[in-house]
Chain A
C-alpha cells in the first residue's frame, strides 16, 4: 500500500516543543482546506499524524517522530465576526495575536488569554488553555460554541457542547488526539479599552499570598501571583499578587479617551533574544538577584495602575525566542494543580523546591475556579503553580518524580500541554476520567491515525494495557 512505503526518505524536519527538549524528525504538511485535512489523515502512515500550531506547548504534544505533522500555518483566516452577538469564526491556525489585533479595535477581546498570545486557536482548544481569569471565566473551551473537526473515523464533524458533548469535551483538552481542528467559533468579551487596570499587593509569605488571593480574586476578572521561589524560611512563598480588570474608558487619562485611541492594540513586533546571550545566563545567582529586585521594586500595595493589555497578559512576548536563554539543552515547565484544602501539600512542595535551591526564573501561582466537563481538561478548583526549570539543573528529574507523587496523592494533576517528563504510571491517577476519554477517542479515531510523541511517552493515554505498574517509590535518576 502507498502509505506503507518507506517514509524515512521523505523530507523531514526536526521539531521540538517550546522547551526545546527531545526533538524528533517528522514529515511536515501544511493543509489549507478541509479537503487537505482529510487528505493529511488519509495519507498518514503507520506512525500517524498530529496537528501543530505555533509550537508553544512546552513538551512533546505537537511532535510525532517518524510520522507526519500537520501544521496549521495556512489555516490562518478569520472568517467572520458577528459584532452584535460577540462571536468570531476562525480557522484553527489563527493565532490569538492575530485575533487580538483584529478584534480589539472593534471593542472585543478573546475570552481567555494564556501567558503568550502566540498560540493558535486550534492549539488553545486542544490544550484547553487557561489564563489569569480562570477563577471567573473558566478555560478556553468553555467559550467555544462550536468546532469543525476532521476526525479520522467519522470524517468532518461540527461538534458543540450541547449537540455532541462527548466529542466536544474529548476534543477540548484532548491534546490533538481526536482529530484535526479545521475551524472554531469563539465567544468574545466586550471591552471599552485595550488597557488593564491593575491593583497589586506585595505579600511577605505563603500564608499571606494564599489569603490575599482567596479574599480578593472574586472582585477581579484576572488574578495571578509571581512567587519568589528562592525566598526561604519566614519569607517562603513571598509574592507579588496582581489583580486586573479591563479598564473602562473613564479610567484612562483624559487625553486617551477617544474610542480609536482607547482600543488601539499594536504591540511592537517583538525583539529577538540576541544570539550572544550566554546560555548560562540563568543561574541560581542571577535568578536570585532578579527575584530580589523584582520583589523589592514592587510597592507594598498599588491601586489603579493602568497598563497596556500586552504588558499585563503577555510580558514574555516582548522578547521573541526567549526560550533560547536556557541554552542548548532546553528547559521544562512544570505546572500542577492541587485541590482546595491541600495548601499544606503546596507548602511542602514549595519548601522542597526551595531546599533544592531550585532556581525557577518564573514561578506563577493562581487559584482556579470550577472545572469543566473535559475528561483531560487540566484545571480543577484549587491552586496551580507553574515553574520554569532548566534541564541542566542537577537533581531535577528526581525532584519532579517525587513531586508527581505528592501531587497525585493529594488528588492533583500536572498539565499535559506543558508536560515533558511525567511518571507514566501516574497519568490515570491524575486523570481518573481517562477511560471515558479513551472510549470517545476510540470512536473518533478507531484506526489510531492520530499519534504524537506525548502519546508514545504516556502510552496509557490511549491504551490501558500499556499502563506501567506504579512502583512503591520514585525511581532514582542521577
Chain B
C-alpha cells in the first residue's frame, strides 16, 4: 500500500530484464524494502536484474515468466503476480520493448512486425490487464516507458518511433479512462539512455542513465505527474522539434 509520501509496498516490472525497469523498481522499493516482482523472458538476465534490485534495498525479489508477445497470457500473469506479491500491487512498470535494427527491418524480414507486436500490441494488452487489476484494488500506478522517439517520429528510426508513439498515446488515453478509479497512469519519455539495449550506439545529445530515469520516475509519481521527460529539458527541445518543417525533420540524424 502506497503511503502519504509515495513509498510503496510492492512493484511489478513487466520486462523484468530491462535495466531501466530494474532501476525504477530499486528506487521505488528502497524506502520500505518493498517486494519486487520481475516478469520477463530471459531468466539469466532477470537474475542479474534481481541482484541489482536487492542490492539497492528491495525486500523480497522474485522473478516469473512473462511474454509480451503472448497477449492471451497477460491476464493470468497479472493474477499470478498479485498472488506472489501477497499484497496489493502498488506500481506496475511497463518496461519491455525492442529497439530493432531500422536498416535491416526496412530491407525485409520479420523484424519490423515483431517490434510492432511487442512494443505496441504487447503494451496494449499488458496495459489493459494491469489497469483492470489495479482498478479492482481501487488504487495503484502504471508507469509506461515510452520514448522521445514517439513524440515526433523520425526518418532515422520510424519503426521503433511509431511503436512508441502508439503505446505513448495508448497509455495517455488509458490514464484518462482511469480518472476517479484511484489508478494513476504516468508516461515516461526518456531520451537516449545508456543501457545494454543501446550499447555500441553513439551517444545522442542529452544522453541519460537508467538511474536518472528512475529518480525522475519516482519523483513524478510522488508529484502525481502524468508525463515525465528525462532529462526534463527534452520537453522544451521537443516543443521546438515538433514544429520543424518536414524537409528539415527528415534530415535529423539517428
With a CB–CB cut-off of 8 A, which chain B residues contact A59? 4
Whether A330 pairs with B138 at a CB distance below 8 angstroms is no
A47–B82 alpha-carbon span in the complex (Å): 14
A37–B201 alpha-carbon span in the complex (Å): 64
Whether B1 pairs with A475 at a CB distance below 8 angstroms is no
Given contacts A25-B180, A66-B137, contact A476 B2 (CB under 8 A): no
With a CB–CB cut-off of 8 A, which chain B residues contact A176? none
| Stretch with Cβ within 8 A of B (4 or more), from A14-22, A116-124, A374-382 | A14-22
Given contacts A65-B182, A459-B87, A475-B57, contact A468 B33 (CB under 8 A): yes
Residues of B at the A interface (CB closer than 8 Å) are 1-7, 9, 30-33, 57, 59, 87-88, 132, 135-139, 180-182, 215, 218-219, 222-224
| Stretch with Cβ within 8 A of B (4 or more), from A229-237, A358-366, A418-426 | A418-426
Given contacts A14-B180, A22-B4, A25-B180, contact A66 B139 (CB under 8 A): yes
Interface positions, chain A 446-471, Cβ under 8 Å from B, are: 453, 456-457, 459, 468-469, 471
Given contacts A65-B88, A475-B30, A477-B31, contact A421 B3 (CB under 8 A): yes
Whether B139 pairs with A22 at a CB distance below 8 angstroms is yes
A459–B137 alpha-carbon span in the complex (Å): 16
A187–B222 alpha-carbon span in the complex (Å): 44
A391–B4 alpha-carbon span in the complex (Å): 8
Interface string of A325-337 (1 = CB under 8 A from B): 0001110100000
B246: shortest Cβ distance to chain A, in Å? 39
Decide yes or no whether A163 CB sits under 8 A from chain B: no
Decide yes or no whether A136 CB sits under 8 A from chain B: no
Decide yes or no whether A401 CB sits under 8 A from chain B: yes
Whether B2 pairs with A478 at a CB distance below 8 angstroms is no
Whether A457 pairs with B132 at a CB distance below 8 angstroms is no
Given contacts A67-B138, A456-B88, A468-B59, contact A478 B5 (CB under 8 A): no
A477: shortest Cβ distance to chain B, in Å? 4
Decide yes or no whether A23 CB sits under 8 A from chain B: yes
A294: shortest Cβ distance to chain B, in Å? 26
Given contacts A456-B87, A478-B219, contact A25 B4 (CB under 8 A): no
Whether B139 pairs with A65 at a CB distance below 8 angstroms is yes
A177: shortest Cβ distance to chain B, in Å? 15
Given contacts A397-B31, A477-B30, contact A22 B180 (CB under 8 A): no
Interface positions, chain A 357-408, Cβ under 8 Å from B, are: 391, 396-397, 400-401
A478–B2 alpha-carbon span in the complex (Å): 16
Residue of A21, A25, A329 near B182 (CB, 8 A) is A25
Interface positions, chain A 46-100, Cβ under 8 Å from B, are: 47, 59-60, 64-67
A401–B1 alpha-carbon span in the complex (Å): 17
A265: shortest Cβ distance to chain B, in Å? 34
A22–B2 alpha-carbon span in the complex (Å): 7
Residue of B32, B181, B182 near A423 (CB, 8 A) is B32
With a CB–CB cut-off of 8 A, which chain B residues contact A421? 3-5, 7
With a CB–CB cut-off of 8 A, which chain B residues contact A424? 32
Whether A8 pairs with B132 at a CB distance below 8 angstroms is yes
Whether A471 pairs with B33 at a CB distance below 8 angstroms is yes
- Interface size in chain A (residues, C-beta < 8 A): 43
- What are 16 A-B contacts defined by CB distance under 8 Å? A6-B136, A47-B138, A60-B4, A65-B1, A332-B5, A391-B4, A397-B6, A400-B5, A421-B7, A424-B32, A457-B1, A459-B87, A468-B32, A469-B33, A476-B31, A477-B5
Residue of B30, B59, B135, B139 near A8 (CB, 8 A) is B135
A418: shortest Cβ distance to chain B, in Å? 10
With a CB–CB cut-off of 8 A, which chain A residues contact B136? 6-8, 66
A326: shortest Cβ distance to chain B, in Å? 12
B210: shortest Cβ distance to chain A, in Å? 15
A19–B3 alpha-carbon span in the complex (Å): 12
Whether B30 pairs with A456 at a CB distance below 8 angstroms is no
A253–B73 alpha-carbon span in the complex (Å): 79
With a CB–CB cut-off of 8 A, which chain B residues contact A468? 32-33, 59
A478–B215 alpha-carbon span in the complex (Å): 8
A258–B1 alpha-carbon span in the complex (Å): 55
Whether A24 pairs with B219 at a CB distance below 8 angstroms is no
Given contacts A12-B181, A475-B33, contact A397 B5 (CB under 8 A): yes
A272–B108 alpha-carbon span in the complex (Å): 66
With a CB–CB cut-off of 8 A, which chain A residues contact B224? 328-329
A337–B5 alpha-carbon span in the complex (Å): 22
Decide yes or no whether A26 CB sits under 8 A from chain B: yes
With a CB–CB cut-off of 8 A, which chain A residues contact B1? 22, 60, 65, 453, 456-457
B34: shortest Cβ distance to chain A, in Å? 10
B22: shortest Cβ distance to chain A, in Å? 17
With a CB–CB cut-off of 8 A, which chain B residues contact A8? 132, 135-136
Max count, chain B CB within 10 A of own CB: residue among A22, A60, A332, A459: A22
Residue of B nearest to A477 (CB): B31
6 closest Cβ pairs, A-B complex = A65-B138, A420-B4, A66-B138, A21-B4, A25-B182, A477-B31
